[in-house]
Structure 1
Amino acid sequence: MALCEAVVCGSSLLWPRVLLFGDSTTQFSFQQGGWGASLADKLVRKCDVLNHGFSGYNTRWVKIILARHRKGSSLDSPAAGTVFFGASDSALKGENPKQRIPLEEYAANLTSTVQRLQSVGVPESRLIRITPPPLCEAARGQERQLDFLFSIGCKLNRLNSVVGEYARACLQVAQDCGIDALDLWTLMQKDSQDFSSSCLSGELHLSPKGNEFLFSYLWPSIEKKVSSLLLLLPYWRDIAEAKPELSLLGDGAH
């Protein structure tokens, strides 16, 4: 399917797609004011924006999910796609062994993810790799203190410096694979700005301002990749009143 066209199969219309693939920061991106919702709003009537976010998932589990996909699935030939993992993988080994993935395996898993996406028709030129956001250790500590009061007794299981190591590994994989990358971990801490109070809600999830921050840096890259997409359906004022099918079933120019 050409990226600037939709295909009609029987009574179904196959729209071009933008795929968002990641963990909780992707899963929650369609909430009000989320960066995924902002993308969908920008691309309305040009393509579908699909949320493939899995809260709490690490890259080891993602490899298993991707192995199930074949050509013709929702992953097939999107106009653009984001790959946004690392927040779960970077958990500390001694405190959160279930989610934690060793740094070397994390990098290998990211490479494998790219290769698997390529095998189902997603070229690297359409992908954008996003690093995990920075971690607010103060907020994490406050949450764990509350847990302790309720006898949960969880310890601090992530450190921002460790997340930074995973962010750098993410960038290296993107460079090695020839993929565009967005270094969210560094951008949110640029010039020693207080990212924790403005961009994060709690320890690592994005606040409304954090979603706006991510979208502002992501959109220029997405826009380039979808620049060939046409408006598939006209604005309502431009629909031919006497014969709307000319506008809705034709090329939209009538």
Structure 2
Amino acid sequence: MDWTSVTLEYCSAPSGGAEEFSFQANGWGADIANKLARKCDVVNRGLSGYNSRWARIILPRLLSSHSSADNNNNIAAVTVFFGANDCALEDKNPQQHVPVQEYSENLKEISRLLASSGVSADRVIFITPPPVHEAAWEKECILKGCPLNRHNSAAGQYAQACVQAAGQCGADVLDLWTLMQKDGQDYTVYLSDGLHLSARGNQFVAQHLWGLLESRVADLPFILPYWGDVDAKDPESSLLCDQ
């Protein structure tokens, strides 16, 4: 029996917590997993605070832990969600900052590493950083004893680089930075503190990501038969029929 999976590789993105903790209540990862219940596994590989430079280093280990190219052929999609930590201002947050050109190259290398492990580019979805509400995030920074360390304009540069890298790799892209600010809407409702996703932000990500995922998983059958279809007198004939 083949078990298909959707791997959520979103180690950094909107400030760390939004990806590592996306499986918490009302998280966008939990929403996607719920939609795919009994159709495939949704694997969380989010690492709070990480940037694309560090992800590029550890990705081979993550891929090897998936065991084999045969297993990777059963991956329906991989999301690559970086940028909000990379775009931290170099003079205010050098530990997380990654120059935009290196960020772009890291995304391309991540795509190449995935392809070499059997995950083709048409199964990869890049996700850009969302916008930053500087006034709200500055308050959080001050509480932590540091100055404002991110600008929305910088997040936009990294979002643009992500969109371009996706196009060059042949991958899909979910441009949160643009979508959340489209038509002058109040994007602050999507952020809990100016940087991390709010409940509405998680819902926004889940809704738009599902739009890219749905066609990829539409034909997946349910794993194992419906309970009412199991032969009670000979359950093995129903439950082991694919082995």
Superposition TM-score, scaled by structure 1 size? 0.87
Aligned residue identity for 2:225: P
RMSD: 1.9
Match among 135, 141, 145 for residue 138 of structure 2? 141
Report the equivalent of 1:30. Answer: 23
List per-residue Cα deviations over 1:181-231 (Å, max 9, x = no partner): 1111111111111121x2111122111111111111111211111233211
Secondary structure of the corresponding residue to residue 112 of structure 1: helix
Q: Structure 1: give runs of 5+ residues left out of the alignment.
A: 1-5, 8-14, 148-152
Residue range with higher mean Cα deviation, 65-74 or 113-122: 65-74
Report the equivalent of 1:11. Answer: none
When residues 73 and 64 of structure 1 are mapped into structure 2, their CA distance, relative to the original with a 3 A threshold, is farther
Aligned residue identity for 2:195: L
Match among 82, 85, 104 for residue 85 of structure 1? 82
List per-residue Cα deviations over 1:8-31 (Å, max 9, x = no partner): xxxxxxx21110001233211101
Report the equivalent of 1:99. Answer: 96
Report the equivalent of 1:201. Answer: 192
Report the equivalent of 2:151. Answer: 159
| Residues paired across the two proteins, number | 234
1:76 CA displacement = 2.5
Higher alpha-carbon Rg: 1
Aligned pairs (5 A) from 1:1-254: 6-7=1-2, 15-22=3-10, 23=12, 24=16, 25-68=18-61, 69-70=63-64, 72=67, 76-77=72-73, 78-147=75-144, 153-196=145-188, 198-250=189-241
List per-residue Cα deviations over 1:73-128 (Å, max 9, x = no partner): 59823111111001110000100000000010000100000000101110011111
Q: Aligned equivalents of 1:195 and 1:247: distance in 2?
A: 50
Q: Aligned equivalents of 2:58 and 2:68: distance in 1?
A: 12
Q: Aligned equivalents of 1:189 and 1:237: distance in 2?
A: 48
Q: Aligned equivalents of 1:246 and 1:201: distance in 2?
A: 51
Q: Greater helix percent: which structure?
A: 2
Secondary structure of the corresponding residue to residue 21 of structure 2: helix
Superposition TM-score, scaled by structure 2 size? 0.90
Secondary structure of the corresponding residue to residue 173 of structure 2: strand
Identity %: 52
